[in-house]
Amino acid sequence: MRFRACWTFSRMIWVGNLFKTGSRLCRCRVNCQVKRHYIALPDDVKSLRTVVSPDISKIRNIGIMAHIDAGKTTTTERMLYYSGYTRALGDVDDGDTVTDFMAQERERGITIQSAAVTFDWKSHRINLIDTPGHVDFTVEVERALRVLDGAVAVFDASAGVEAQTLTVWRQADKHHVPRVCFLNKMDKPAANLGLSIESIRAKLKANPVLLQVPVGSGKNFTGLVDLLTKQKMTWKLNSTDDGRVFETKALSQADNPELLQEVREARTALIEQIADLDDEFAELLLTDFGDNFDAVPSSKLQEAVRRVTLARKGVPVLCGSSLKNKGVQPLIDAITDYLPAPNERHHDLVRWYKDDLCALAFKVLHDKQRGPLVFLRIYSGTMKPQTAVYNINRDNTERMSRLLLPFADQHVEIPSLTAGNIALTVGLKQTVTGDTIVSSKSSAAAAARRAQSDRGKGKTRGEQANLVLSGVEVPDPVFFCSIEPPTLAKQADLENALNCLQREDPSLKVRVDPDSGQTILCGMGELHIEIIHDRIRREFGIETHLGPLQVAYRETVLQHASATDTLDRTIGERRHIVTVELAVSPVEDSSSMGSSCDFAFEEEVEEQLSPEVKDAVENGLQSSYLQGPLLGYPVQGVSTLIQNVSMEPGTSPAMVSACVSRCMLKAMRQAGGQVLEPVMSLEVTVGEAHLSSVLGDLSQRRGAVKDIQSRHDNKVLLATVPLAEMMGYSTILRTLTSGNATFSLELDTYEAMNSQDQSALLKRVAGLV
């Protein structure tokens, strides 16, 4: 064991099995009372550099994704424990996990924010981002996926693929993230390997590659056989055993003949499947092992499985029970063996920036003492504290004071960090989630030049657009409510709190109601708004009052209509006169979520108008799309044709915009307003005994049942239901089923309300009922 003096740690923490911290008084000759902190390096670690900035091929930036309650947090805790990062096993049921560090997470037993955790495993650096499973926090998942190189999908082996997994899986497909699957909860009597694999194939349209065979089932699940090495891993059944130590030995003739047969068949199937997916392996098989699959070396098979995983032609499947401490170590091995290092993923930017710094801010947290903490994924170059960096999105230069390695709510200060790593920075006050950070404006310009020469001469997009890493798409909020401080004196504090929370969470929108002057919170679901409310109380010490939760409807028009309007106003000495003629009509398929509003000028009008007036017309249109004619909800699916804009000389563009907005309102009223309501897709898993009461309740909520499937003793009900009918559903479902049901709710589409429901809504909003 050697000791090296290290930079001063902000806090003393245990940093995993790779190195340990100690402290002693500084021995420098000046009169210094500073405590120096030391890192004890194991003998196989060459230098601190390798610990802080490991070789890029040894880094794995990994996320864990799953349906709510599949066991992500429990699995993460086991990983941290076996890697030596924590010294006691955290338990979500006892509320003492490391990754769920926010107070609400500990209390509610759910994961809200993706906490980044760094740990080491067998000379690899694993940056692990625990992502939430609740659908209200989809943006958190998307944000994490954007910066990951690989992911572990955790499934409840007794349930197979569940609704939220489908959503997250699709998100991972979008970002081309290679994955491995972990079938957790193999200790449950209802765990079913075959059905789970089949549901991965059928529902996720993926190609599962089974790498292990479980030994025993339910309560007697004791271990696994690795199909590549034919090694049998056995854990103790004793419930108090932490699973750190387990027996590994080659499968032998002395083992259960049924298990031997199962392993033989599964290995042959694995070899054939990989040969189908990987030409290099197929060739090796044909030339060297045509008649003896048994002799295929595990290393060759492993290399081929890795190629298949990286090419996303197949997903390795492993199994275990995190709660019972079985199968987690082989899962961490699989992360390092099969998921890609950062340099195995393709990012154009890395080429353009060469060795210059380029990083993406993917998360912002607020710390009372240190101010905003920004999580960055470094794509190229090296990051150092006490340096200025340039934010391309905001076009400003900021100074980064400190650089930290994120260990959940513990942060270790470090002197530099290289490409491929996840860093946590202090001092970036303007940076918002999704921003791109580079070393300087001139390095951004140099990269822009390289990008342009790469893309040929055609400069269709701005230089900046080329260089901004694509951020995170934020879906529109579906719920909103007013929020009020306890006294007017606290209004400024509330605004500050909301600003901080918005920088952290782009799915939270805040606006001021133009009529009432009230502050309005818009969020992704009841739980989302509840958590924000709770955080304002806990973290900012403000007791706020929330108004009733309301659904974010939208509006559209039913038919074609035209309108003309003239605005004649004298302000001071100046007279402004403008006349606008336009026509509105519904866009085809206006009920679909994606259909936004569009507009065009008639050809002659387009030629006559100056660019300044055209901009003014567009501004007027955009502001009229923000508030529909019926209830003031945003407008979608409306197509506008500008037929005439005539104005007296001296009329200001602001007056043109105002006239366009007024004329639009007139036209939309004539065209007949239609309210569109968010319709959710609902999945309820419920015991057969309670199915009829759940169905009966759904029919009263205007729900439409799409399918009822069987899953072991449970029924899975798939339905669509208007969001307006789902307020407080979790409490009602709990009462109806005595707590024997779970559900997930996700925005499906916006649908036109029927005239009866719409007039009831209009009366309700007008206060007539």
Ligand X SMILES: Nc1nc2c(ncn2[C@@H]2O[C@H](COP(=O)(O)OP(=O)(O)OP(=O)(O)O)[C@@H](O)[C@H]2O)c(=O)[nH]1
Q: Point out which residues bind ligand X (CB under 6 A).
A: 66, 68-74, 92-93, 109-111, 132-133, 184-185, 187-188, 321-324
C-beta closer to ligand X: residue 69 or 504: 69
Is 124 annotated among the ligand-binding residues? Answer: no
Residue nearest to ligand X (CB): 133
C-beta closer to ligand X: residue 70 or 215: 70
The span from the CA of 211 to the CA of 228, in Å, is: 7
Is 132 annotated among the ligand-binding residues? Answer: yes
CA 225, 226, 228, 229 torsion: positive or negative?
A: negative
Q: Which residues contact 134 (CB under 8 A, 6 or more apart)?
A: 68, 110, 111, 112, 164, 527
C-beta closer to ligand X: residue 140 or 555: 140
Structure tokens at 501: 């929370």
The span from the CA of 650 to the CA of 478, in Å, is: 43
DSSP annotation of 588 reads T
Helices (H), 385-541: 441-454, 463-467, 491-504, 526-540
Is 525 annotated among the ligand-binding residues? Answer: no
Helices (H), 339-414: 348-353
C-beta closer to ligand X: residue 136 or 337: 136
The span from the CA of 706 to the CA of 227, in Å, is: 40
Which phi and psi angles does 567 have, rounded to 5°?
-115, 125
Is 753 annotated among the ligand-binding residues? Answer: no
Is 71 annotated among the ligand-binding residues? Answer: yes
Name the minimum Å distance from CB 158 to ligand X. Answer: 8
Q: Are 128 and 76 in contact (CB under 8 A)?
A: yes
Name the minimum Å distance from CB 74 to ligand X. Answer: 3
C-beta closer to ligand X: residue 75 or 443: 75
Is 673 annotated among the ligand-binding residues? Answer: no
The span from the CA of 314 to the CA of 680, in Å, is: 31
Q: Are 134 and 161 in contact (CB under 8 A)?
A: no
Angle at which helices 193-204 and 163-174 cross, to 10° = 50
Is 66 annotated among the ligand-binding residues? Answer: yes
Is 220 annotated among the ligand-binding residues? Answer: no
Name the minimum Å distance from CB 505 to ligand X. Answer: 17
Could you tell me the maximum CA-CA distance found in the chain, to the nearest angstrom?
A: 103
Name the minimum Å distance from CB 71 to ligand X. Answer: 3
C-beta closer to ligand X: residue 110 or 213: 110
Closest CA to 134 of 104, 95, 160: 104
Name the minimum Å distance from CB 185 to ligand X. Answer: 4
Name the minimum Å distance from CB 184 to ligand X. Answer: 5
Is 271 annotated among the ligand-binding residues? Answer: no
Helix (H, G, I), strand (E, B) or coil at 679: strand
The span from the CA of 37 to the CA of 12, in Å, is: 8
Name the minimum Å distance from CB 218 to ligand X. Answer: 10
Is 186 annotated among the ligand-binding residues? Answer: yes
Name the minimum Å distance from CB 509 to ligand X. Answer: 24
Name the minimum Å distance from CB 69 to ligand X. Answer: 4
The span from the CA of 150 to the CA of 400, in Å, is: 28
Q: Are 178 and 312 in contact (CB under 8 A)?
A: yes
Residue 629 CA to its chain's centroid (Å)? 35
Q: Are 429 and 372 in contact (CB under 8 A)?
A: yes
Is 178 annotated among the ligand-binding residues? Answer: no
Q: Which amino acids are annotated as binding site, given as ranges?
A: 66-73, 130-134, 184-187
Q: Which amino acids are annotated as binding site for GTP, given as ranges?
A: 66-73, 130-134, 184-187
